[in-house]
Chain A
């Protein structure tokens, strides 16, 4: 469609993937072809970790077979190539998140380490006795415990925004919690236990109007739709590679450059320094200041390939497809007798947590496993959520763009079997 000066404006497609496209994409994922207990694998545990496309697997193998080398420190050909691939990934990530600069992209082990980095670095410097940190009742333990540790150490207070019985945040309660002593808000964009999508932009605006920075836990959000850190205007954003079709052991912390510059380093060691003497050590510039030691080079390069893979499909298209699939799945599950959905927010993504009458989650999980269906059962590292709903555990099916309606049908049949066994 031509723009005002007659030049075509590329449209960001956001129409949902169709069944044929998904079938084609599934071919890229070797694990999806396997069988378990002599039945086809129906992988519905994507919130725990995602499967990897062949090109990500091949990239890692290629790195180790042909140019494996330590980055930054060498002059030789292999090191140059490894460094180029590694640093090039920073650019890929910057574009994916729509961050302003490559130096705002810090490689970490995963979301958990990203949050710990902020708690230790920003937290130690800027949170003091009597200060407050705000999190929510629906957070993953990785976005609770680092703050508990910090607050205990500093004599600061942890404030928790409550949720309602649909699993939605109570924004008026959040407003009440924001005070002159609040030093940071740390919040998940998407709940791994409930599937709730939080109004993160609004939450950030409210915090910023009081001069409070915000960390967003994007672990679940990144695989399921477009992320734009500048649009959100978040101060920090953390996500994990293994949840977005990349390898384990690699993740990203995005931080606004000014803020990262003002914070003390996290881990000390090689690469994060400019010079070392026993009298004085000078730290390196961003992003290296926060990247001590030899990084997970293979992981980073693999992550870059995974993000490009997602970009080619189109995050908006993924989001649209998953919305349809979630709707189909929710309706199908809700029709099962004795099944109660946990997490019924108006805005949700493909996480279906549920309990069944008179059947413990672990029994559901074992029987489903026997039908080839992989789900997760337990508290999903969200014990406060479980406590809110008065339960110990849920069974959780979580979707990715490579799941299909046929797979949901198999899930429902397997749940029928559970009901049959127990009643």
Chain B
């Protein structure tokens, strides 16, 4: 049986209290918005992409601890990655939180982000964890329209 501590770990709580890269980028060249109206999680992601690499990233928004912590950890993880590497990380993260991978694989592929795979035991919260990722993808692909994971 999963522990609540799997979800609300110290790292997660820390990222929620002091989110990293929590700012808008003055020189952003990609941006996207994400919003889950039913629960009220809202996020905007600014990217500075150069030669296919995430040079800088910032995010803003409000919502539950899971969505915020996830966004914060994600921004740390993707800085310096190429678009393809970021996309691959997204797929690995998606597999982890939807329960389609195992603990070992998670730690291998996700590193620090593996902490968030605890979300898979709380299916109602998966959409909170995923919002930042889907919004990041939309930003990288320069897609129009507000993203939602509801």
Contacts and interface: CB of A to CB of B under 8 A. Distances in A.
Of the candidates A37, A362, A391, A421, the one having the most CB atoms from chain B within 10 angstroms of its own CB is: A362
B39 A37 contact: no
Contact of A362 (B1, B4, B128): B128
B38 interface: yes
Contacts of A393: 39-40
Contact of A378 (B1, B7, B38, B125): B38
A361 B7 CA distance: 16
A91 to B, nearest CB: 41
B115 interface: no
Given A366-B122, A366-B125, A421-B13, A379 B38 contact: yes
Contacts of B65: 359-360, 363, 422
A377 B4 CA distance: 18
A38 interface: yes
Contacts of B1: 37-38
- Give the size range of A's interface with the partner: 10 to 19
Interface size class of B (residues with CB under 8 A): 10 to 19
A105 to B, nearest CB: 35
Contacts of A367: 4, 8
Interface in B60-95: 63-66
Contacts, number: 41
A67 interface: no
B4 A363 contact: no
Interface in B11-42: 13, 38-40
Contacts of B8: 363, 367, 421
A392 interface: yes
Interface in A344-384: 359-363, 366-367, 370, 377-379
A360 B4 contact: no
A362 B13 CA distance: 14
A86 to B, nearest CB: 37
A185 B115 CA distance: 53
A362 B8 CA distance: 12
Nearest to A391: B40
Nearest to B42: A392
Given A370-B4, A393-B39, A422 B13 contact: yes
A127 B1 CA distance: 57
Nearest to A365: B124
Nearest to B40: A392
Contacts of A392: 39-40
A98 to B, nearest CB: 39
B60 to A, nearest CB: 16
A367 B4 CA distance: 7
B119 to A, nearest CB: 10
Contacts of B125: 362, 366
Interface string B50-66: 00000000000001111
Nearest to A364: B64
A360 B64 contact: yes
A377 B38 CA distance: 10
Contacts of A362: 39, 64, 66, 125, 128
B64 to A, nearest CB: 4
Contacts of A391: 40
Contacts of A366: 4, 7, 122, 124-125
Interface in A381-423: 391-393, 421-422
A92 B8 CA distance: 50
Nearest to B63: A360
A360 B65 CA distance: 7
A47 to B, nearest CB: 17
A14 B122 CA distance: 44
A37 B7 CA distance: 15
A61 B65 CA distance: 44
A369 B69 CA distance: 20
Contacts of A363: 8, 64-66
Interface string A236-259: 000000000000000000000000
Contacts of B122: 366
Nearest to A421: B8
**Interface-central residue, A361, A366, A367, by most chain B CB under 10 Å:** A366
A421 B63 CA distance: 17
Nearest to B64: A360
A391 B39 CA distance: 11
Nearest to A362: B64
The 9 closest A-B pairs by CB, nearest first: A392-B40, A360-B64, A370-B4, A362-B64, A363-B65, A393-B40, A363-B64, A362-B39, A421-B8
16 contacts: A359-B65, A360-B40, A360-B65, A361-B39, A362-B64, A362-B125, A363-B64, A363-B65, A366-B124, A367-B8, A370-B4, A377-B39, A392-B39, A392-B40, A393-B39, A421-B13
Given A38-B1, A366-B7, A422-B13, 18 more contacts: A359-B65, A360-B63, A361-B39, A361-B40, A362-B64, A362-B66, A362-B125, A363-B8, A363-B65, A363-B66, A366-B124, A367-B4, A367-B8, A379-B40, A391-B40, A392-B39, A393-B40, A421-B8
